[in-house]
């Protein structure tokens, strides 16, 4: 996933798009090193050091990665399976809507 | 093929150039092409179904809609005819189209082979404790499994088999907006009556699983406003998902493993 995520981050740099992670690794310090090694620039919630941490438990996540795509108004627009082409298409639809809302709001 | 192979070889030795086309043409014309017949069969059913949908939409009240549901056309005949066509040329594109269509088809039995197997298990093996695994494994099953699961839930003498069957039926029904309310009720029943049941050596607690599934049904469906997440980031700094409102967010449950 990392290369694809990195390419999304660079493709949508300076546009209204963000990847937010919920990370379920065990060791924070090891993870911080890996984040540097893999150039992971997006921010992640810490799920308490376990795949059965509070956030993934409440969200009933049982497979990793699990993805949700949320629009600029906070509405869930797509859920897994959300891979490759479908994700690209969804972003092409949603990011311009977010930009439009920004323009209208700025008037 | 047995006959044409030596011919091909012979042709090849006579002229080292490309194979003469007549052989290819004749072998192609021998092959039956069922694609057209398959498409006709499917399109017949589509027409029938669209006509029915129009009737259903035209119904003015619940009673009318119920009556229309009774008359929903089944794909029994189409499925039978398509299987017949597939037998004549199972490896062709037409067969592929037919088989993938059959897999989505709504037949009067409404049953896939695995659902039929489940219903026979429920009928003839209802005493078995092993139905616990069978029921649990069907949480990712399809809607045609639900009647079999509910029979098992009703008739099994084992409390834990009942719990797993209700849980799986609830999860399946909850996936479809049309049946979601029934799914919710079943999951609430699991929480009320079967929270003591565990599976996979205690790693799965039925009550917790049902609670998680209910949360997804009530809060995490497409079109719903995403619930707030408020927690520390990896560096220990607290933040909220709503801090990013105004942006499109790809929320990614991940781990470096």
pTM of the model: 0.65
DSSP secondary structure letters along B89-108: -TTSHHHHHHHHHHHH---S
- The per-residue pLDDT for range A33-72, each reduced to its tens digit, is 999 998 899 999 999 999 989 999 999 998 888 999 999 9
* Nearest chain B CA: its distance from A62 CA (Å): 10
A-chain CB neighbours of B167 within 8 Å are none
Residue of B nearest to A45 (CA): B233
Best of A13, A40, A67, A68 to disrupt the B interface (most B CBs within 10 Å) is A68
CA A17 to chain centre: 9
Nearest CA in chain B to A103: B246
Task: Tell me how far apart the alpha carbons of residues B193 and B182 are, in angstroms, rounded to a whole number.
Answer: 16
Q: Which residues of chain B have pLDDT under 70?
A: 1-32, 103-104, 106-111, 113
- Residue B255 has its nearest CB partner, among A17, A24, A76, at A24
Mean pLDDT of chain A: 91
Return the residue matching tokens 């119904």: B59
Is A99 in the B-facing interface, judged by CB distances under 8 Å? no
Per-residue pLDDT, A39: 87
Chain B residues bordering chain A (beta-carbon distance below 8 Å): 208, 212-213, 215-216, 220-227, 229, 231-236, 239, 241-242, 244-257
The 10s digit of each residue's pLDDT in A72-99 is 999 999 998 777 788 999 999 999 999 9
Q: How far apart are CA A15 and CA B131, in angstroms?
A: 53
CATH number of A2-94: 3.40.30.10
pLDDT tens sequence across B214-231: 999 999 999 999 999 999
Predicted pLDDT of residue B63:
86
How far is it, in rounded angstroms, from Cα A16 to Cα A18? 7
For residue A26, the chain B residue with the least C-alpha distance is B255
Which secondary structure element, helix H or strand E, spans residue B173, and what is its range?
A: helix B159-175
Using a CB-CB cut-off of 8 Å, the residues of chain B touching A8 are 250
Share of chain A above pLDDT 70, in %: 97
Task: Identify any residues that bridge with A44 across adjacent strands, giving them in sequence order.
Answer: A21
For residue A101, which residues of chain B lie inside 8 Å, CB to CB? 246
Rounded CA-CA distance B49/B16 in Å is 56
Would you list the domain boundaries of chain A?
A: 2-94
Q: How far is B144 from chain A (nearest CA, A)?
A: 22
Q: Which of B188, B164, B161 is nearest to B174 (CA)?
A: B188
């Amino acid at each position: 996933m990392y290369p694809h995520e990195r390419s999304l981050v660079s493709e949508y740099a300076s546009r209204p798009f963000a990847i937010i992670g919920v990370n379920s690794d065990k060791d924070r310090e090891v993870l911080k090193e890996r984040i540097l090694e893999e150039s992971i620039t997006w921010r992640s919630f810490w799920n308490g050091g376990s795949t059965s941490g509070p956030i993934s438990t409440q969200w009933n996540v049982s497979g990793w990665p699990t993805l949700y795509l949320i629009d600029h108004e906070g509405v869930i627009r797509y859920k897994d399976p959300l891979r490759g082409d479908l994700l690209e298409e969804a972003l092409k639809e949603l990011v311009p809507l977010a930009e439009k809302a920004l323009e209208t709001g700025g008037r | 093929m047995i006959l044409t192979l030596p011919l091909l070889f012979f042709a090849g030795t006579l002229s080292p150039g490309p194979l003469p086309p007549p052989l290819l043409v004749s072998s192609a014309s021998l092959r039956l092409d069922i694609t057209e017949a398959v498409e006709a069969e499917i399109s017949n059913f589509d027409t029938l179904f669209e006509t029915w949908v129009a009737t259903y939409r035209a119904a003015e009240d619940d009673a009318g809609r119920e009556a229309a549901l009774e008359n929903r056309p089944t794909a029994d005949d189409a499925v039978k005819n398509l299987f017949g066509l597939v037998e004549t040329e199972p490896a062709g594109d037409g067969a592929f189209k037919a088989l993938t269509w059959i897999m989505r088809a709504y037949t009067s039995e409404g049953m896939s082979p695995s659902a039929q197997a489940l219903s026979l298990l429920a009928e003839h093996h209802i005493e078995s404790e092993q139905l616990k695994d069978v029921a649990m494994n069907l949480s990712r099953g399809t809607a045609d499994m639900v009647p079999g699961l509910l029979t098992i839930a009703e008739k099994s003498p084992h409390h834990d088999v009942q719990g797993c069957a209700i849980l799986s039926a609830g999860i399946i029904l909850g996936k479809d907006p049309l049946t979601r309310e029934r799914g919710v009720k079943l999951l609430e029943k699991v929480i009320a009556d079967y929270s003591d049941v565990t599976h996979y050596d205690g790693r799965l607690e039925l009550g917790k699983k049902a609670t998680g599934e209910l949360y997804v049904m009530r809060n995490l469906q497409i079109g719903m406003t995403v619930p707030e997440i408020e927690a520390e980031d990896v560096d220990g700094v607290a933040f909220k998902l709503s801090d990013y409102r105004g942006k499109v967010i790809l929320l990614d449950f991940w781990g470096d493993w």
